[in-house]
Amino acid sequence: MDEELKTAKNCRHYAMCKIDFLGSGVCDSGLEKHFVSFYPQGRMILYEALAENKVTVTEKCLEIADSCNLCGKCDYQCYFLNEMRPTKVMEALKNHVETFIKNGGKIKSTGDDIILTEIKRIVGVDWATNDEAITITYSHDLSAISDPKMPDYVVMPNTKEEIASLVKLFNKNKITYTIRGNGQNLLGFAVNEGAIIDLNRMKTIEFDEKNWLVKVGPGVAAFDLQKQAQKRGFRINAAEPAALVCANIMCSGIMSTFSTTYGINADNFIDAEFVDKNGSFFSLNDISSPNLYSYKNLQHKNSPGICVSANIRLHPFTDDESGILVPFQTLDSALAFIKNCSIRHIGLALGIVGAEYISTFLSPTKKSASEIKNVFINKLGIPYLVVVIGDKFAIRSIGEMGFPFFDQRLFRALYLGLPSLKSAKWLDLIKELSDDEPYSYLRIKSFADLLETALSPSPDLYSQEIDPDLKPFFEKLFSRDEMTDLVWLNMYRIMSTRLGRKKPFLPVLIYLPIDNGLIEELNDKFRLIAEKYQIDNDFGFITPIDNGKRCIFEYDYFYDYNDPDEIRRIRQAGTEANTLVDEYSVKTGTVKGHPYVLYQGFCRKENLLYS
C-alpha cells in the first residue's frame, strides 16, 4: 500500500480540519463549499474510495480535486493531532484525477432524480447532491465499529424552515433521513442510507448577554463558540472542539472537566428549538412541548426531532484563574482528592487523568508519548494526575490542604522541556525523594528555577522531533501563551483528539458515585475484558459532577480500524463492557452507561443520575 493510501485510510474523522484550532486557517474550499468532501477529511475518504475503486471520477470529484490549492494548512493541523501529513494525499487525489482524464476516462455525471430536484428546490441547487464523490464522504463517521453506509443524497439546509420542508418531503416519499453534525458520533448513528442532512451551513451565533445566553445554530462547533464567548468575556461548557454544540447536546449532553461546576445535560442550556418528525416546530419552553427533560435508562429512545438552535448558558470567569496538576500515586488517593474538592466547591474544573492521557496530550509525537508515559510512571512516580482549574483562592486552598502540585510555570517547563525530561538522569534522585513524602520535590521553593535550568524548556526544544519542514510553524505555535496555558487547554480541549493518535479509541463512558471500591473494580474489569480480546486499553479520565455525588468515568479501548480482526475483537470487547455496565447498573442502581443517553442529552441530570 502506498503511503498516500495508508495516510488516507488512517484519517481519524475527527473533523478537526473544519475548525481553526491552531490559528493557521482552515481549508478555504471547505469554508466556501461546506460539504465535508471539500475539507481535508472528505478528500481523504474520497481518495481512499478512488484508490480502491469504490467510486469513479465524477463531476464533483473534479471540483473537489481542483479546489485544493495544496496550501498545506491541513498538514499543520493533522500533524499536530495525529502526526499525519494529508497534503500528499491531496496531491495524490489531484494526480489520480489528472491521470484518469489523460487516459481518456469518462467523467461520471449523475443526473438529478425527482427527489433531488425537489430537495434542490428547497435548499438551492448548490446545496444538495447525489454525486458519489460527495455521498461517499458521508458514508463514514467517527466510529469504525459501525459499517459504512452510502447515502443517496446529501443536503445542506440553511434555515429551520428549509429543514421543516425537507422533513415533510422525506416523510411524503418515505425516505429515511439522518442528521449529521460533524460526524462525531461514536456509535455509527451519523451514517445511513437515504438522505443525510448536514447542518454545517447553519452557523449563527447570537449573544444575549443580559440573559447570560448565546443562541447557536446547529452548525456551530464548540471551539468556535468558545472563541466567540471568550472574546466577550464569557465561557461556555464545551465538548470536543469539533463537535457541533446542538448535536452534542442532542446525542449525549455536554460534558467536560468544567462539568464539575457547570454541570451536564440540561444544566448547559436554557432553551432549544426543534423541528419534529412531522416538520413542525417546537421549543423546550413551550408548555405543550414533549418532555425532553426526562430520562429513561436501558432503552434507546428515538430522536425527538432535529435541534435547530439552542440557547447555551454563558458563565463568567475571573482574571486570576489558573491551572494546576496534582500528582497521585494511586487512583484511590486521586479519587479521595477530587471528591473532597468537589464537595467543598474547590476548583471550577476537575479531572483525574492517567499517565497515558497526559503523556499523549503533551507529546508532539507518538514515540515521544510512549517515552514520556514511562517517565511519568517510572521516574516521576505519577500514574495519575488531577487537573484543577480554579481562581487564586481555589489554588491556595489546595496548597493549604497539603497537596504539592505542578503550577502553571512548572507545567510549562515540563511541557516545553519534554525532550530533556526523557533523558534527565536527575529524575532517578527525584524518585528517591518521593519515598518519604510523595512529590516532596515540588515543595522545594526554587524547584521551578531548577526545572527550567534542567529542562531548558522552549518552543524550539519542544519542536525538535517534529518534521523539519513543519518545525518553524510549530516553534511559532508553541511560543503562544495559550498553547501551554492549562485554562485555555481545558476550555478548548484541542489536545483531546491526540488520544487517538496511536490508534483510534472506543471510550467506555459511565456515570457512577465516587465510590473508590466500585471504580477500582470496574477499572479492573474493563482492563480484563480488553486483555481477553487483546485490545490495547487504559484508564481514561474521571470528572466529579454534582458536588461530588457522582462522576463521569471513561475507560479507553484502542484498536486499529484497518485491521478486520481487531475490529472484530473491539466489537466483542465493547459489547462485553456494555453488558458489564448493564449488570452493574442493575446491581447498584447507581451506575449509568453513557450509550443510553443517546438522544436524551436534553434530560435533567437529576433524572439521569438519580432516577
Please report how close the Cβ of residue 98 comes to ligand SF4 at its closest, in angstroms. 15
State the minimum distance, in angstroms, from the CB of residue 599 to another protein: 48
Q: Is 70 in the site for another protein (CB under 8 A)?
A: no
Find which of ligand SF4, another protein, none residue 597 binds, CB within 5 to 8 Å per kind: none
Contacts 24+ apart (CB under 8 A), 221-224: 221/15, 221/18, 221/19, 221/182, 221/245, 222/248, 222/254, 222/493, 223/19, 223/20, 223/21, 223/492, 223/494, 224/19
Q: Which one, 341 or 494, has the nearer CB to ligand SF4?
A: 494
Number of residues that bind another protein (CB under 8 A): 21
Helix (H) or strand (E) holding 507: strand 505-512
Rounded CA-CA distance 323/204 in Å is 31
- Residues from 14 through 53 that contact ligand SF4 (CB under 6 A): 27, 29, 40, 43
Closest CA to 273 of 317, 244, 311, 321: 311
Check residue 74 for interaction with ligand SF4 (CB under 6 A).
yes
DSSP H/E element including 349? strand 349-354
The verdict on 68 binding ligand SF4 (CB under 6 A) reads yes
Shortest gap between Cβ of 93 and ligand SF4 (angstroms)? 9
**Among another protein, ligand SF4, none, residue 102 binds (CB under 5-8 Å by kind):** none
Counting contacts by CB under 8 A, is residue 456 touching another protein? yes
> Which does residue 446 bind out of ligand SF4, another protein, none, counting CB within 5 to 8 angstroms by kind?
another protein
**Which residue is at the shortest CB distance from ligand SF4?**
27
What's the grid cell of residue 544? 466529579
Q: Which does 447 bind (CB under 5 to 8 A by kind): another protein, ligand SF4, none?
A: another protein
Among ligand SF4, another protein, none, the one that 395 touches (CB under a kind-dependent 5 to 8 A) is none
**Binding of another protein at residue 428 (CB under 8 A)?**
yes
Q: Decide which of another protein, ligand SF4, none touches 71; Cβ closer than 5 to 8 Å per partner kind.
A: ligand SF4
At 212, is the secondary structure helix, strand, or coil?
coil
| Measured distance CA(138)–CA(129) in Å, rounded | 12
99's contact among ligand SF4, another protein, none, with CB below 5 to 8 A by partner kind, is none
Q: How far apart are CA 457 and CA 451, in angstroms?
A: 9
| 507 near ligand SF4, rule: CB under 6 A | no
440 touches another protein (CB under 8 A)? yes
**Binds 432: which of another protein, ligand SF4, none (CB < 5-8 Å by kind):** another protein
Selected range binding ligand SF4 among 69-77, 385-393, 394-402, 582-590, rule: CB under 6 A? 69-77
213, 16, 599, 585: CA torsion to nearest 10: -110
Q: Which does 435 bind (CB under 5 to 8 A by kind): another protein, ligand SF4, none?
A: another protein
What 3-state class would DSSP assign to 608? helix
Look at residues 195, 185, 184 and name the one whose alpha carbon lies nearest to residue 151: 195
How far is Cα 71 from Cα 30, in angstroms, rounded to an integer?
A: 13
Helix (H) or strand (E) segment spanning residue 306: strand 306-313
Contact positions with ligand SF4 (CB under 6 A) in 510-569: none
Rounded Cα distance, 382 and 362, in Å: 14
Cα–Cα distances in angstroms (integers) from residue 336 to residues 7, 81, 155, in the given order? 43, 32, 50
Number of residues that bind ligand SF4 (CB under 6 A): 14
Contact between 410 and another protein by CB under 8 A: the answer reads no
- 44/250 with CB nearer ligand SF4: 44
**Alpha-carbon distance 606 to 594, whole Å?**
15
30-34: long-range contacts (C-beta < 8 A, 24 or more apart)?
Answer: 32/67, 33/67, 34/127, 34/156, 34/198, 34/200, 34/201
| List 21, 39, 415, 447, residue binding another protein (CB under 8 A) | 447
- In this chain, which stretch among 64-72, 249-257, 436-444, 531-539 interacts with ligand SF4, using CB under 6 A? 64-72
Q: Starting at the edge strand that comes first in sequence, how are the strands of the sheet with 128-129 ordered?
A: 128-129, 153-155, 195-198, 177-180
Give the residues lining the site for another protein (CB under 8 A): 425-426, 428-429, 432-433, 435-437, 440-441, 444-447, 449-450, 452-454, 456
Give the residues lining the site for ligand SF4 (CB under 6 A): 27, 29, 40, 43, 68-74, 86-87, 90
